[in-house]
């Protein structure tokens, strides 16, 4: 089996549906990835072990989705110098605003790149991961450019409403 370049993490299996666009985008671009449910507060030791071992398997970028207090992306970032892309999951009474603020407001020193709340953020995090990887992989950069072009072509094909 090929080595995974991207790790998609989420704090709960209940996050899986929101994180699905990240999986779909990476699959579409042919980027090998792995997906794990690991929680910063429910399974911290297993999370630390996973983050420590992942680069040895090939992982170069982490995407971390979490809802509520949303510690996961920040804790992953605390344990690695690889880029961490945070996706706020809409859940509970605050519908993701809580997670957005928790992830985006990392204090200086341990950065997390924060994306939009929900599925758009998950998909964009994957596209951003491809952009990072594409810096040293012309094949991936080309795939990303082709994907953008196809998106524009599709929009323009449907642009005349009346
Ligand atoms: C967070 O708490 C997870 O990322 C999830 O979004 C939220 C709720 O988790 P469950 O109670 O549904 O497992 O850790």
* pTM confidence score: 0.97
Q: What pLDDT does 1 receive?
A: 65
CB of residue 73 inside a 6 A radius of ligand 1 = no
61 confidence band (pLDDT: 50, 70, 90): very high
**Residue range 16-41: average pLDDT?**
98
Q: What pLDDT does 52 receive?
A: 98
| Number of the ligand 1 atom closest to the C-alpha atom of 11 | 4
CB of residue 66 inside a 6 A radius of ligand 1 = yes
**Residue range 57-74: average pLDDT?**
98
Distance 10 CA to ligand 1 centre (A): 9
CB of residue 125 inside a 6 A radius of ligand 1 = no
pLDDT higher than threshold 90 for residue 22: yes
CB of residue 68 inside a 6 A radius of ligand 1 = yes
Q: What is the 3-state secondary structure (H, E, C) of the chain?
A: CCCCCEEEEECCHHHHHHHHHHHHHHHHCCCCEEEEECCCCCCHHHHHHHHHHHHHHCCCEEEEEEECCCCHHHHHHHCCCCCEEEEEECCCCCCCHHHHHHHHCCCCCCCCEECCCCHHHHHHHHHHHHHHHHCCCHHHHHHHHHHHHHHHHHHHHCCCCC
pLDDT tens for 93-149 read 999 999 999 999 999 999 999 999 999 999 999 999 999 999 999 999 999 999 999
């Amino acid at each position: 089996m090929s080595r995974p370049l991207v790790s998609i993490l989420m704090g709960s299996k209940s996050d899986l549906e929101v994180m699905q666009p990240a999986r779909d985008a990476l699959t579409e671009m042919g980027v090998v990835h792995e997906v794990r449910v690991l929680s910063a507060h429910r399974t911290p030791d297993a999370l630390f072990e996973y983050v420590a071992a992942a680069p040895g398997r090939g992982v170069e970028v982490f995407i971390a989705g979490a809802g509520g207090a949303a510690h996961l992306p920040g804790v992953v970032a605390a344990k690695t110098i690889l880029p961490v892309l945070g996706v706020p999951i809409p859940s509970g009474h605050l519908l993701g605003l809580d997670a957005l603020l928790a992830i985006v407001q990392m204090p200086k020193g341990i950065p997390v790149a924060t994306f939009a709340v929900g599925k758009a953020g998950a998909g964009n995090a994957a596209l951003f991961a491809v952009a990072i990887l594409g810096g040293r992989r012309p094949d991936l950069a080309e795939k990303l450019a082709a994907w953008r072009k196809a998106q524009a072509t599709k929009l323009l094909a449907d642009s005349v409403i009346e």
